[in-house]
Amino acid sequence: METLTPGGTSKNSPGAPAAEANAGKRFKKPSFWRTALQQKYLYLMSLPFVIWAFVFSYLPLWGWTMAFQNFKPAKGFFAQEWVGFKHFQELFTDDRFYLALRNTLAMSVMGLVVGFIIPVIFAMLLNELRGMLFKRFVQTVSYLPHFVSWVVVAGIVTKMLSTQGGAINDLLVGLHIINEPVQFMAKGEWFWYIVTASDVWKEMGWSTIIYLAAITGIDQEQYEAARVDGANRYRQMWHITLPGIRTTISVLFIMQVGHLLQIGFEKQFLLGNNLVQEYSQVLELYALQYGLQMGRFSYGTAISIFNSVVSVILLFTVNGIFKKVSKESIM
């Protein structure tokens, strides 16, 4: 893995590690302390952030010890009873855990796929629009839902899908596609799709912004050259715009994969109901209900350790694959 060299930026170009290795052979590598002295101001400036990261991201890891104890809040650390992997055993033998895991993975993979493809396509289409005013208008309208809280979105979705005056049912009945209103929210197998669709509605415009920004960075001369070569709009999109934002796409993708298991639970919690719990139960909700709410801190910690470990593995795997295949990675 490439480390961040002090004062320098991380080097993503494929030739960089080799060049560095060569440099190391020819010149005596300056000692750590000499570099530090030379760049003392840079070090000083980064110090608060190092401390911040240490305090808020690494110190709390100490709490992981809880997962191996029968943690009782009132007792001191040394008075706790150590139980080894008992909580993990319990976790891995619980059917509800696998159910929650399945739902989490299903919804996040669906969200990942759809939540990637649609904003990219949308950004490319928006980019092709020539009327500046119209483009701005569409963009603003499309990202407004991002600022609406999930509580409100859940309310809108339930109302839209309602059997009594819900817009979707009214439309479908009106067009004679169905004969009587469908109870969308009562069908467990549809729950994943409803969550994914509402997520797309809410976040599509917002995710588009970053791709639009990346597109503006593409050299206009490339388009001109392509036009000279006879490329039509679609060809230009396919051969210039898309490769132009490829790096952005892969960086975002890798980061998203790291969050696969951490999809939160607001959506599922707010949209779900007792009928669809088999499809709406997700890991974080499981950790809350079977861990924290019962005061089983150790069990909750065990779930969160599982979460973190899987996330780190996923992140490195995807990063590794991207590094091999496309020479693009974030580490």
Which residues are near other proteins by CB under 8 A? 32-33, 47, 50-51, 54-55, 59, 72-74, 96, 154-155, 158-159, 162-164, 181, 183, 185-186, 273-275, 277-278, 288-290, 292-297
Strands (DSSP E) along 30-161, which ranges?
69-70, 81-82
Find the shortest distance in angstroms from Cβ 73 to other proteins. Answer: 4
70, 298 Cβ separation under 8 angstroms = yes
Find the shortest distance in angstroms from Cβ 199 to other proteins. Answer: 19
Cβ closest to other proteins, residue 19 vs residue 55: 55
DSSP string over 256-325: HHHTTT---SHHHHHH--GGGHHHH--HHHHHHHHTGGGT-HHHHHHHHHHHHHHHHHHHHHHHHHHHHH
Find the shortest distance in angstroms from Cβ 191 to other proteins. Answer: 11
Residue 69: phi and psi, rounded to 5, are -120, 170
Q: Select from 230, 231, 249 the least CA-distant residue to 240.
A: 231
End-to-end Cα spacing for the chain: 7
Cβ closest to other proteins, residue 261 vs residue 271: 271
Q: Select from 200, 312, 307 the least CA-distant residue to 261.
A: 307
* 13-38 b/e (C-beta count within 10 Å ≥ 16 → b): eeeeeeeeeeeeeeeeeeeeeebeee
Cβ closest to other proteins, residue 189 vs residue 221: 189
Cβ closest to other proteins, residue 35 vs residue 256: 35
Find the shortest distance in angstroms from Cβ 166 to other proteins. Answer: 9
Cβ closest to other proteins, residue 207 vs residue 301: 301
Find the shortest distance in angstroms from Cβ 180 to other proteins. Answer: 10
Find the shortest distance in angstroms from Cβ 112 to other proteins. Answer: 27
Cα–Cα distance measured from residue 194 to residue 279, given in angstroms and rounded to the nearest whole number: 11
Cβ closest to other proteins, residue 60 vs residue 131: 60
